Amino acid sequence: MRRRHEVEPQAAGEAAAQAAATVAPAKPVDPDIGAAAFFDVDNTMMRGASIYHFARGLATRGLFTTSDLFKFAVGQAVFRLRGNENPEHIAVARETALAFVAGAKVDHVVRLGEEIYDEVMADRIWGGTRALAQGHLDAGQRVWLVTATPIELARVIAQRLGLTGALGTVAETSNGVYTGRLVGDLLHGPAKAEAVRALARREGLDLTRCTAYSDSANDLPLLSLVGQAVAINPDSELREHARKHDWPIKDFRTGRKATMAALPIAAAVGAVAGSVAAGIALRRHYRSPQ
């Protein structure tokens, strides 16, 4: 019988794989259907945390104050520094993910995500990482984002970048409105590997011919699953692991390393703080007279 901590990542992974949908057409010329590339988002494809940028976009629309965001950011700094693999901390992260979507209309969140990506996120894409993704596309391979970010926002990012699709945290919906419950759990750590494994079965991928990219040691289960792992802007633990296993290391923070060194922490802090703030904003919006 599986223990609970083994079941939750598998459930989250399977939910993410089932929710995965192609958002960009595959290259028609010489497709390499057996291989794919998987990219983490926060601090791998994008500077900082995507959900935090989303929350900032909501702030500019007057849906909540910057002081709200700051309060949650401070709380999440403590959360991150104490270690985010503790089951209690994961439970906190799960609750914030629920806050992000509870009571909101799916189509409205998607529209906001599209607007805010164009306004705030597009300029934060790492050019070097984007070029790596394009190289896989040019080789006829599919390219998927794999992120704890809610699937709707992850799909927007993938679509804007011209990628194949995205795997993200799946929230339950009813009649086009989020219920405040997750399907499975957060797509985090081992759950990412489970999602990619399930997607590979569905899409007929040979994982030994696939590549994965991440900045965080939290993604070691995913990085270790594929034939080629690449560390992008790695945290210290991942950098050490990559060196020990002769994995390529790409650091696009050159020239800004002193000021950008805290980004792995900032991304994780922002991801959860942003989801809380976004949740508050959306709840206020939907509870106010329309």
User: What residues are annotated to the active site?
Assistant: 40, 42
- Beta bridge partners, 146, equal 167
Measured CA to CA, the distance from residue 267 to residue 238 in angstroms comes to 15
- Cα–chain center distance at 81: 20
Tokens of residue 167, six digits: 């795997």
Tokens of residue 246, six digits: 């002769």
